[in-house]
């Protein structure tokens, strides 16, 4: 029985790598009939925010990843926000200090910089040199009085440390190459290392699944577990996800694209941009000149203002692009993992039921967006009607679509007419004409030219004829509209397209739309005729 935990540092939206970790934590726990804990690692005062924690939880919930213990639901090992567990960490830090396995330090930034430089001059990695005699409490007080920052470092033993990793096998580290790392910062908060090790023990974690970037931290965690007399959990470090461009799928990519766009923008109104992002001009300058990254809503707002598309990295980006949570779960579960069954399109339950921890891959895994789209098409087809409707409504709300206000009956018709769509965004896009005022339909000029004006206004003439016939129909149904259009095509010995395309452009402004008969039926005959008249007036030679 595995007890796993997902332990995000809430710095922004949940991204694709974090979601994969969260998912395998859940899969592992559920496959073994175990427990899945959510723990917020929010001890970095400068980087973590409560809104980000909420956002991460919303994103997990949207994916259908439910935790058994954690924020909002509680549990026996709570609280589940590390920022609320300082007393616990202090107790453990004291224990290490008392045992001589940790010590105070109060080097200034300049002193540390000098040590780093000396190491690099010797062409060596910087390793913090442990003092022969550890500072006493009196020394600490004196240092504080001088205005120095005080931290606590853990004594790294010189021995070899072996990490038995499920994904990578045995990975050996030499304690001699590893620095005495900080376990308590000068603000009194523990570092991630200390809090993580203590909480994994207190929460009874048996399996730690996390990204490969944490492998370097694991030897330090193992020796700290040994120093405390804790059990060492099973480790699985999941392989790196790379984008099609070859880079790491990291949040920084979004900031990078935005940064480049701001730098390139001509005559940019920085004040306006800052206001749109809800940040100050100084913060924009800091962002442009360094590593500082505004939080995600600010990034999105500024990208919208600059009319640029940012790469999809966060779960919410995929939500907004019209992917189903079922698709993402299925797709993410195949990043760095090959299920033991000969099938790719799977539900979460199937993935859980067939989970085999020996089937993780070591090599980097490619984020293949085409495959994601293909998966989405399958999952849209597979979802029962009511479920798809509810997903679609969530999507419409998220992107502020005017269709969000439509009634269920109409949306169900839209979904049916869009069978075979690749994304929910595509469905929304194709059916926007139903939710646009008759006099606000925007015409695609290329389509107008091709379909209405070409050959001396052939399409417009067709539109005039159709308008009369449609107005004269006594019964409006998909069937009667189809009969009428087909009848005209037959009578004139022309393809159905020649009849239907002008009508399409008149009601949607473009030739990309839903099947024409359903479109008219859904739009209603009055609006259809109004739009046909408007089009005829707009483009007839005056
Ligand atoms: N807070 C760490 C992170 O977000 C968790 C790492 C771990 O799972 O131990 O990367």
Question: What pLDDT sits at residue 247?
Answer: 78
Residue numbers of the domain that contains 146: 85-238
Q: Do 140 and 275 belong to one domain?
A: no
Is 8 a pocket residue for ligand 1 (Cβ < 6 Å)?
A: yes
Q: How confident is the model at residue 285 (pLDDT cuts 50, 70, 90)?
A: confident
Is the distance from the beta carbon of residue 299 to the nearest atom of ligand 1 less than 6 Å? Answer: no
Nearest-atom number in ligand 1 for the CA of 192 is 1
- Residue at 32 is within a domain: no
What pLDDT band is residue 200 in, cutting at 50, 70 and 90?
very high
State the average pLDDT over residues 289-298: 76
Q: Do residues 135 and 270 share a domain?
A: no
More confident residue, 384 or 512: 384
Dihedral angle over CA of 144, 148, 154, 158, nearest 10: -130
Q: Is the CB of 152 under 6 A from ligand 1?
A: no
Find the 7 Cα to ligand 1 centroid distance in Å: 5
pLDDT band (50, 70, 90) for residue 129: confident
Most informative mutation of 4, 41, 194, 217 for ligand 1 (most atoms within 8 A of CB): 41
Question: In this predicted structure, what is the pLDDT of residue 249?
Answer: 79
For 74, which DSSP code? Answer: B
Number of domains in the chain: 3
Confidence of residue 439 (pLDDT cuts 50, 70, 90): very high
Our CA angle for 321, 322, 324, nearest 5°, is: 130
Is residue 185 in some structural domain? yes
pLDDT given at position 245: 78
**Can you tell me whether residue 19 is helix, strand or coil?**
helix
Q: Which atom of ligand 1 is nearest to the CA of 6?
A: 8
Higher pLDDT: 505 or 310? It is: 505
Ranges 170-184, 299-313, 371-385: which has the least confidence: 299-313
Best residue among 9, 10, 60, 216 to mutate for probing ligand 1's pocket (most ligand atoms within 8 Å of CB) is: 9
In a domain, 56, yes or no: no
* Residue 13 domain-assigned (yes or no): no
**pLDDT at residue 267 in the model:** 84
Last residue of a domain, one of 191, 208, 238: 238
pLDDT value at position 294?
Answer: 73
Residues 167, 299 within the same domain: no
pLDDT at 513 over 90: no
Residue 147 placed within a domain: yes
**Which residue from 341, 52, 251 is spatially nearest to 330, judged by alpha carbons?**
341
Which atom of ligand 1 sits closest to the CA of residue 8? 4
CATH label of the domain that carries residue 276: 1.10.260.40
Q: Please report whether residue 120 resides in a domain.
A: yes
Mean pLDDT throughout 510-523? Answer: 89
- Which has more pLDDT, 320 or 246? 320
H helices present in 32-131, as ranges: 50-63, 86-98, 109-121
105/223 same-domain check? yes
Q: Cβ–Cβ contacts within 10 Å for residue 323, how many?
A: 26
C-beta neighbour count of 26 within 10 angstroms: 26
Q: What CATH number did the domain enclosing 148 receive?
A: 3.40.50.620
- Supply the pLDDT for residue 37: 98
Helices 516-523 and 478-491, interaxial angle, to 10°? Answer: 130
Structure tokens at 12: 């922004």
Model pLDDT, residue 255: 86
All residues at 6 or more sequence positions from 35 whose CB lies less than 8 Å from its CB, including other chains: 1, 3, 4, 29, 68, 69
pLDDT band at 440 (very low <50, low <70, confident <90, very high): very high
Residues 492 and 499: their CA atoms lie apart, in Å, by 10
Question: What is the distance of C-alpha 334 from the center of its chain?
Answer: 16
Dihedral in degrees, nearest 10, Cα atoms 204, 207, 210, 216: 90
Integer Cα distance of 186 and 190 in angstroms: 9
- Within this chain, do residues 223 and 261 fall inside the same structural domain, yes or no? no
Whole-number Cα distances in Å, 93 to 148, 175, 179, 204: 20, 21, 18, 19
Residue 337 confidence (pLDDT) above 80: yes
In percent, how much of the chain has pLDDT > 70?
Answer: 99
Q: Do 127 and 262 reside in the same domain of the chain?
A: no
**Is 94 in the same domain as 228?**
yes
Q: What is the mean pLDDT of residues 109-117?
A: 91
Closest CA to 181 of 214, 150, 154: 154
In this model, does residue 289 exceed pLDDT 90? no
Residues facing 161 on adjacent strands: 173
Asked if the model's pLDDT at residue 542 lies above 60, the reply is no
Q: Determine if ligand 1 sits within 6 Å of the CB of residue 196.
A: yes
What is the percent of the chain with per-residue pLDDT over 90, rounded to a whole number?
77
* pLDDT value for 529: 93
Residues 213, 94 share a domain: yes
Q: Hey, which residues does 104 pair with through a beta bridge?
A: 152
Whether the CB of 295 sits within 6 Å of ligand 1: no
- Ligand 1 close to Cβ of residue 9 (< 6 A): yes
Q: What residues act catalytically?
A: 251
Locate tokens 């040994």: which residue? Answer: 226
- Ligand 1 centroid to 9 CA: how many Å? 6
- Identify whether residues 156 and 256 lie together within a single domain: no
- Return the bridge partners of 237, or none: 210
Does 176 lie in the same domain as 275?
A: no
Tokens of 306: 């600059």
pLDDT at 286 over 90: no
Instruction: State the distance from the centre of ligand 1 to the C-alpha of 193, rounded, in angstroms.
Output: 9
Which ligand 1 atom minimizes the distance to the CA of 208?
Answer: 8
255-259, 339-343, 369-373, 492-496, range with the lowest pLDDT = 255-259
Residue 356: both structure tokens together: 């085999």
Instruction: Give residue 310's pLDDT.
Output: 87
pLDDT tops 60 at residue 131 = yes
Tokens 């000969």, located at residue: 342
Phi then psi dihedrals of residue 162, to 5 deg: -110, 125
What was the pLDDT predicted at 270? 87
Average model confidence (pLDDT) across the chain: 93
Same-domain status, 234 and 257:
no
Q: Is 190 helix (H, G, I), strand (E, B) or coil?
A: strand
251's CB contacts (< 8 A; 6+ apart) are 12, 13, 15, 293, 296, 313, 314
Mean pLDDT of 150-164: 96
Q: Is residue 531 part of a domain?
A: yes
Pick the residue whose CA is nearest to atom 4 on ligand 1: 8
The DSSP line for 393-407 is HHHHHHTT-GGGGS-
Residue 205: the pLDDT is 98
Nearest-angstrom CA–CA distance, 47 and 44:
6
pLDDT at 125: 85
**Residue 12 · residue 317 · CB < 8 Å:** no
pTM: 0.90
Q: What whole-number distance in Å separates Cα of residue 50 and Cα of residue 73?
A: 16
Mean pLDDT of the region 393-400: 96
Least confident stretch, 42-46, 91-95, 327-331: 42-46
Instruction: Name the most confidently modeled range: 47-61, 121-135, 331-345.
Output: 331-345
Report phi then psi at 165, rounded to 5. -100, 135
Torsion, Cα 340 345 350 355, to 10 degrees, reads 30
- Do 257 and 226 share a structural domain? no
Q: Confidence band (pLDDT; 50, 70, 90) for 44?
A: confident
Which two tokens mark 118?
A: 């000396």
Q: Is the pLDDT of residue 45 over 90?
A: no
The rounded Å distance from CA 5 to ligand 1 centre is 10
* Residue where one domain finishes, among candidates 238, 270, 291: 238
Comparing CA positions, the residue from 237, 208, 243 lying closest to residue 337 is 237
Integer Cα distance of 333 and 415 in angstroms: 27
**CATH number of the domain within which 469 lies:** 1.10.10.350
Chain centre distance of CA 170: 32
Q: Is residue 207, in this structure, part of any structural domain at all?
A: yes
- The mean pLDDT of 70-82, rounded to a whole number, is 96
pLDDT, position 366: 93
Give me the long-range contacts of 75-79 (CB less than 8 A, separation at least 24).
Answer: 75/37, 77/37, 77/199, 77/202, 77/203, 77/204
What is the distance between the alpha carbons of residues 326 and 390, in angstroms, rounded to a whole number?
Answer: 13
- Ligand 1 centroid vs 43 CA: distance in angstroms? 12
Domain boundary among 180, 206, 238: 238
Question: Is 327 near ligand 1, meaning CB less than 6 Å away?
Answer: no
């Amino acid at each position: 029985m595995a007890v796993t935990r997902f332990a995000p540092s809430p710095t922004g939206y949940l991204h694709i790598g974090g979601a994969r970790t969260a998912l395998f934590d859940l899969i592992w726990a559920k496959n073994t009939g175990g427990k899945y804990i959510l723990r917020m690692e929010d001890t970095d005062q400068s980087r973590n925010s409560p809104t980000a924690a909420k956002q991460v939880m919303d994103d997990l919930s949207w994916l259908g990843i439910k935790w058994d213990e954690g924020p909002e639901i509680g549990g026996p090992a709570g609280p589940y926000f590390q920022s609320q567990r300082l007393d616990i960490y202090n107790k453990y830090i004291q224990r290490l200090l008392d045992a001589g396995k940790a010590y105070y330090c109060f080097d200034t930034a300049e002193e540390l910089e000098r040590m780093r430089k000396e190491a690099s001059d010797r062409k060596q990695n910087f390793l913090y040199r442990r003092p022969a005699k550890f500072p006493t409490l009196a020394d600490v007080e004196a240092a504080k009085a001088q205005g120095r920052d005080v931290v606590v470092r853990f004594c790294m033993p010189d021995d070899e440390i072996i990490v038995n990793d499920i994904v990578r096998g045995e990975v050996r580290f030499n304690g001699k190459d590893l620095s005495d790392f900080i376990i308590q910062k000068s603000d009194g908060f523990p570092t991630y290392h200390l809090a993580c090790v203590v909480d994994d023990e207190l929460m009874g974690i048996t399996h730690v699944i996390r990204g490969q970037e944490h492998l370097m931290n694991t030897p330090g965690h193992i020796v700290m577990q040994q120093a405390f007399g804790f059990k060492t959990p099973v480790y699985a470090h999941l392989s790196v996800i790379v984008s099609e461009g070859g880079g790491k799928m990291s949040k920084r990519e979004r900031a990078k694209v935005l940064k480049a766009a701001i730098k390139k923008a001509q005559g940019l109104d920085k004040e306006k941009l800052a206001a749109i992002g809800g940040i100050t001009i100084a913060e924009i300058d800091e962002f442009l000149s360094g590593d500082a990254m505004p939080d995600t809503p600010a990034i999105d707002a500024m990208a919208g203002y600059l009319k640029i598309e940012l790469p999809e990295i966060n779960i919410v980006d995929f939500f907004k692009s019209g992917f189903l949570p079922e698709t993402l779960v299925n797709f993410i579960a195949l990043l760095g993992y090959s299920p033991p069954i000969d099938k790719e399109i799977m539900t979460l339950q199937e993935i859980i039921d067939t989970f085999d921890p020996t089937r993780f891959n070591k090599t980097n895994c490619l984020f293949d967006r085409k495959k994601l789209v293909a998966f989405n098409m399958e999952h849209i087809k597979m979802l029962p009607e009511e479920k798809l409707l509810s997903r679609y409504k969530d999507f419409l709300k998220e992107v502020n679509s005017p269709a969000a206000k439509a009634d269920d009956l109409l949306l169900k018709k839209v979904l049916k007419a869009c069978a075979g769509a690749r994304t929910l965004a595509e469905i929304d896009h194709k059916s926007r004409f139903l939710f646009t005022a008759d006099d606000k339909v925007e015409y695609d000029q290329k389509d107008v030219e091709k379909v209405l004006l070409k050959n001396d206004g052939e399409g417009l003439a067709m539109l005039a004829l159709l308008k009369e016939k449609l107005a004269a129909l006594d019964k409006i149904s998909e069937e009667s509209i189809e009969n009428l259009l087909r009848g005209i095509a037959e009578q004139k010995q022309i393809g159905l397209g020649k009849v239907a395309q002008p009508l399409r452009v008149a009601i949607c402004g473009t030739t990309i739309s839903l099947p024409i008969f359903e479109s008219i039926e859904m739009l209603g005959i009055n609006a259809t005729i109004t739009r046909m008249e408007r089009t005829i007036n707009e483009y007839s030679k005056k």
